[in-house]
Amino acid sequence: MADSPARPSWYEWVAFGTLAIAPVVVAFRSRRNGTSIEASELVHQRFSPSELRFRFGLDDLLMVLVIAGLISLIVASTRGKPLILEWLGMLGTALSVVLVTVAAACFVLLNRGWSIAAVVLTLGVVGAAALHTWVLGDWIVAVDVLYGWPATFTGFLFAFTLLSMMTIVAVYLLLAGAIFVVGTERKIRNASDARFAGLALLLVCLAVYGPLAVVYCRMLRVVPFPVYVSSEPNGYAEILAAVEELVRINPSESSTTHIREFGRGAEKADTVVKGYQELMRALETPSHIAVDPERDGRPDYIMELMDYLTFMRSVARMFDNESLAMEASEKYDTAAAYGMANIRRGATQHDGGLKITSLVGLAVDATGIHQISRNRHRISVAELPHLLAELEAIEVQRERNKSVILRDVAWSEHAYMWRHSLSREVPIVLASTEAYEYSFAPYYESAVFQRDAMLRLLMVEFAIRGFQKEQGGLPESLDELCPTYISSVPIDPYSDDPLIFRRTLDAYVLYSVGPDGRDDGGKFGTYSDIYEAGFDLDLDVPDRPAISTSATTATP
């Protein structure tokens, strides 16, 4: 789906509302009680009182922040993207500046000079942590994933970044305090002003320490590690060994037909065939990834997996080439068998794994689904029940996506410790982000939805073909397929409603509503089109030319 314009949520409106109201309150109090907070009057000490003096009050500072924030809001809303920071970073930084400025001013008004050093240090640490998380949230994790770099170096780099933020905030507070000390009488004019300053300081402390306390409490929460439980023996190690061997003997990913035809010898082709057979046998055993948080909860674990994940993709392409060779020989059932092998391998990368392993599994799944779907009308009717039964079994037995996401979060807790907790929990408190949506989870779920939709469309296609063969015609609705040809009507993951089926006298159209979540009347396009509003998703989307003008509308 195309990037939508940046729309401010409740947090943005509250933040901007606070910034807008604060100048009014400060200006009202200063004008009413005659206690306007004036900036540097050093020029008054050098020149006559009749000469122009520079005046810049706290209300003026707040107004500048409001204007800058509103300009950023307008630009971000019209252009659809932020100027420098994301919404959370931009507003969080502005709000931090306001809070520390008000705090410094209140301490000066209360004439408590002995505590200025304490407030500078305390708010410097708090402000640094806030700025570091808001502005450099990705940097927190990025420093830790500098694989191959010494751990001490990454630690020093992280500490240096945090120290830099602390220094910036501390210098700002010192300058702000100096301005107010120079330009303001060190005496409260009446008790009302003292109460107002004390109340303002209390509110600032609550605004700073309240969310911070919530963040730290949430950071102390232990994220449970979902353990994948299976009573069956785990054959994942055998699958990895067979995949690694196939990549070693066939690095070019060529089909066995191609190997024989281009003079590389029948012996090598036979060796590759034996490798296929070993992998097929390994896939008959239930398997899953066994992630141990104590053993594998470290940043370099992902790097250790990268070779195997690359091998998985390589064998997926190898099987796709075999399917193409079988299609050329009109051996469509055999071509489908290679596709089913890819779908089974994709499932092994999902169950018990992390998001990165599941994403590789999704890519392998997509290859396998395409291998079968492009031949769905040419696969023998006798083979359809076996394929459909296996697809349904994989669908039912696959681990729920939320478990994979939660496992990924729990793994990150072990690998990155408190830095991951901080970067995870601050956005939750400030933006109402659900815990399981950490990192790129929304993009991961989008890929899962597409895989599920395509797989379910394929299952319904097979059920319709079986019905048509035995009944001599098409069903009036998908309900007629249940339970003889398919156990139940598959649900569209994009709409949570049944997949859409419409028929005419001798034809039908079957599709998912696609990422936009609404029925567009069977308007189909390419992969790039379906992420734009106004397109539906069908099984032919991978085979359409990659041009927008290829969009077609199905007319029942």
pLDDT band at 115 (very low <50, low <70, confident <90, very high): low
What does the longest C-alpha to C-alpha distance in the chain come to? Answer: 105
Q: How many Å apart are CA 527 and CA 538, to the nearest integer? A: 10
- Residue 351 confidence (pLDDT) above 80: yes
The rounded distance, in Å, linking the Cα atoms of 512 and 481 is 18
Q: Stretch 151-173: mean pLDDT, rounded?
A: 51
Best mean pLDDT range from 70-84, 323-337, 436-450: 323-337
Which range, of 45-54, 106-115, 367-376, 545-554, averages the lowest pLDDT?
45-54
Residue matched to tokens 């939805």: 449
User: Looking at 84-88, 312-316, 357-361, which range is the least confident one?
Assistant: 84-88
- Cα–Cα distance for residue pair 202/452, rounded to 1 Å: 53
Q: What is the pLDDT of residues 17-34, one digit of tens each?
A: 555 555 555 555 554 444
Of residues 303 and 508, more confidently modeled = 508
* pLDDT level of residue 494 (50, 70, 90 thresholds): very high
In this structure, of 156-160, 210-214, 540-544, the range with the lowest mean pLDDT score is 156-160
Return the bridge partners of 503, or none: 508
**Is a pLDDT exceeding 60 seen at residue 14?**
no
Residue 132 confidence (pLDDT): 47
Average pLDDT rounded to a whole number, residues 230-245:
90
Pair 115, 177: CB distance under 8 Å = no
| Gap between the Cα atoms of 71 and 73, Å rounded | 5
The region of weakest confidence among 152-166, 278-292, 297-311, 429-443 is 429-443
In angstroms, how far is CA 456 from the centroid of its own chain? 24
Domain ranges of the chain: 10-220, 228-413+434-439, 457-556
pLDDT at 80 over 60: no
pLDDT at 493: 94
Most confident residue range from 108-122, 196-210, 257-271, 334-348: 334-348
Distance CA 18, CA 215 (A): 21
Does residue 191 register a pLDDT over 80? no
Give the C-alpha separation, 156 to 145, whole Å.
Answer: 14
Residue-level pLDDT at 272: 93
- pLDDT more than 70, % of the chain: 54
Give the pLDDT band of residue 39 (cuts 50, 70, 90): very low
The top-scoring range by mean pLDDT among 51-65, 129-143, 435-449, 533-547 is 533-547
* pLDDT: which is higher, 446 or 48: 446
Distance, CA of 128 to CA of 116 (rounded, Å): 17
Q: Tokens 């997996």 — which residue?
A: 305
Mapping DSSP to helix (H, G, I), strand (E, B) and coil, where does residue 413 land? Answer: helix
Q: Which range, 57-61, 195-199, 334-338, has the best average confidence (pLDDT)?
A: 334-338
User: Where do we find the tokens 């303002």?
Assistant: 200
pLDDT score at 434? 39
Q: What is the pLDDT of residue 430?
A: 39
Helical (H) or strand (E) element with 102: helix 87-109
pLDDT of residue 549 exceeding 80, the answer is no
Average pLDDT over residues 85-94: 48
Q: Residues near 523 by Cβ (< 8 Å), separated by ≥ 6?
A: 534, 535, 536, 551, 552, 553, 554
pLDDT of residue 428: 41
Per-residue tokens: 319: 């099987």
Is pTM, for the whole model, over 0.85? Answer: no
Tokens of 327: 């299609």
Q: Which residues contact 380 (CB under 8 A, 6 or more apart)?
A: 332, 333
According to DSSP, residue 293 is labeled H
**Statement: residue 10 has pLDDT above 80:** no
* Residue in 520, 527, 556 with CA at minimum distance from that of residue 544: 527
Three-state helix/strand/coil letters over 123-147: HHHHHHHHHHHHHCHHHHHHHHCCC
Q: Mean pLDDT over all residues of the chain?
A: 72
Nearest by Cα to 390 from 462, 288, 334, 323: 462
Q: What integer is the mean pLDDT of 108-124?
A: 52
DSSP 537: B
pLDDT higher than 90, residue 478: yes
Peptide bond into 483 cis (omega under 30): yes
3-state secondary structure of 444: helix
Report whether pLDDT(229) > 80: yes
C-alpha 247/C-alpha 54 separation (Å) is 74
Query: What pLDDT is attached to residue 222?
Result: 76
Q: Are 372 and 458 in contact (CB under 8 A)?
A: yes
In order of 194, 269, 351, 410, the CA distances from 300 in angstroms are 56, 37, 21, 16
Residue 204: pLDDT band (50, 70, 90) is: low
The answer to whether residues 525 and 544 touch, using CB atoms and an 8 Å cutoff, is yes
The predicted structure's pLDDT at residue 363: 93
Answer whether residue 288 shows pLDDT above 60: yes
Which residue from 430, 438, 434 is spatially nearest to 95, judged by alpha carbons?
A: 430
Q: What is the pLDDT of residues 399-455, one digit of tens each?
A: 988 899 889 888 888 887 766 666 666 554 433 333 334 445 567 888 899 999 999
Dihedral sign, Cα of residue 92, residue 94, residue 95, residue 97? positive
What is the model's pLDDT at position 442? 62
Q: In this predicted structure, what is the pLDDT of residue 423?
A: 61
CA distance 384 to 393: 14
Q: Is 511 helix (H, G, I), strand (E, B) or coil?
A: strand
User: DSSP letter string over 301-359?
Assistant: HHHHHHHHHHHHHHHHHHHHHHHHHHHHTT-HHHHHHHHHHHHHHHHHHHTT--HHHHH
Does the pLDDT of residue 461 top 60, yes or no? Answer: yes
Q: Are 6 and 83 in contact (CB under 8 A)?
A: no
Closest of 103, 124, 115, 117 to residue 167, by C-alpha? 124
* Structure tokens that stand for 317 in this block: 């392409």
Phi and psi torsions of 544, nearest 5° = -80, 150
What average pLDDT does the segment 248-257 reach?
Answer: 92
Bridge partners for 68 per DSSP: none
